[in-house]
Structure 1
Amino acid sequence: MNCLSLNARGIKGKGKSGWISGLRLSQGVDFLAIQESKTKDLSQRPISSCWGNSSFNCEFVNSDGIVGGGLISWWDPSCFRVSGVFKSKHVLIISGLLIHSAVHVNVANIHAPNDPSSRRASWYELLLYRRSLLGLWILLGDFNEVRSSDGRINSEFFSQNVIAFNDFIRDTELVEYNYSGLKYTYMSAKGDKMSKLDKSWCVKNL
């Protein structure tokens, strides 16, 4: 199953849904995870526009409004058969079976809170899910955190949070995917602040 994670910073902007669906189609994506949908009105039209013309299923967590938040996960039902959905404000977990391999997978779409202490609470929440749901795990999204000081330029860096984040990665036995392209995944409008916040990991619970 080919997965794509994207912090869209709103899905209703001009041309945004077409850009997302084009990216999905060009990369052959079977599972699409969006963070910061910035909308409560998830009618069929914007949801289908982001995916494209082929069949899909989806689940979502509403945002607090236009300001931010909101998670949406889409998947191809011919590839992934869902057996359970688990939601909170910052986490959307889709649990099910990969049809062609009969492997059970839990895909967590994550948008961690901006508040440092709330982020630490999010790692504990995810750890509980990890311990209670068996199978292969894929965690992807905007973690709003870095693993070392070189992950941020001219932005807030909390060493206590870095320790907690790395402890969470160790405790959940996560393996981070290799990256190519640009070193940083976020840059401010002025270009003076950069961070590597968007990540993906996998783990197999044996």
Structure 2
Amino acid sequence: MNFLSFNIRGIGGAEKPGWLKKVKSDFGIHFLSLHETKKQGVSVLDVSGYWGNKSFSLESVDAEGLSGGLVCMWDKSVFSQTGVNRNRNFLHVRGKLSGSSEVVNVLNVCAHQGVSAKKSLWDMISQLIAEHDGFWIVSGDFNAVRYSEEKKNCGFKQNCANNFNSFIFDSGLLEYNLIGRKFTYSKENGRKMSKLDRFLVNHSFF
């Protein structure tokens, strides 16, 4: 089963659906997590262009104004949902793979900006992981880096990195390396670049 996590920075526009649909097709994506949708009441019609058809299941968390918003979409012939937990900053979809009894938990995260607010979110997610058995795939925009070299031309907060690393270690998560560009976010003028998107798992099963 292949997963893709992407900061869509607002659902809409003519180019995004076709581009993301091609990525999904090229890499055989079965589960798609979008963050920063900036939309309330997301429907199948709103996101079918990203998937390529209407043959998928959907869960979402509404944006607050023009901030946040989360969507999870998946191939229902591959993944069967058994539960969901919603929070302003995360969307947890629980289910099983087709032909398997193993439980899989997929968590789509869009974290706060403030250090203390992020720490509270990490604690909440750690508790969520502890309360649910099965495999865990945690991805999204964490608004945090682990090491100073993951930021360029912008400030690094050691206590924020320490909190993030402790959360990863205490939850038994491992980070899968991203391929492609070194930084996952950069301003147009290139004066601020950071690795903010992550892909964390607690078992290597896919």
With structure 2 as the length reference, what TM-score do the two structures score? 0.94
In structure 2, what is the Cα distance between the partners aligned to 1:172 and 1:141?
A: 16
Comparing 115-124 with 71-80, greater Cα deviation is found at 115-124
Q: Using the aligned pairs only, state the percent identity.
A: 39
In structure 1, what is the Cα distance between the partners aligned to 2:44 and 2:202?
A: 33
> Quick check: 1:49 aligned with 2:49?
yes
Tell me which residue corresponds to 1:133: 132
Query: Which runs of 5 or more residues in structure 2 are unaligned?
Result: none
Alpha-carbon displacement from aligned partner over 1:71-104 (angstroms, at most 9, x marks no partner): 0000111001111100100000000101133221
Q: Which amino acid aligns with 1:27?
A: F
Query: Which runs of 5 or more residues in structure 1 are unaligned?
Result: none
How many residues align? The count is 204
Aligned-residue offset at 1:153: 1.1
**Equivalent residues in 2 for 1:9-88, closer than 5 Å:** 9-53=9-53, 55-66=55-66, 68-88=67-87
Q: Spell out structure 1 runs of 4+ moving beyond 3 A.
A: none
With structure 1 as the length reference, what TM-score do the two structures score? 0.94
**Equivalent residues in 2 for 1:83-98, closer than 5 Å:** 83-98=82-97
Q: Which amino acid aligns with 1:64?
A: E
In structure 2, what is the Cα distance between the partners aligned to 1:162 and 1:177?
A: 17
Aligned-residue offset at 1:179: 2.6
Q: Which amino acid aligns with 1:110?
A: V
Q: Which amino acid aligns with 1:129?
A: L
Tell me which residue corresponds to 2:157: 158
SS at match of 2:202: strand
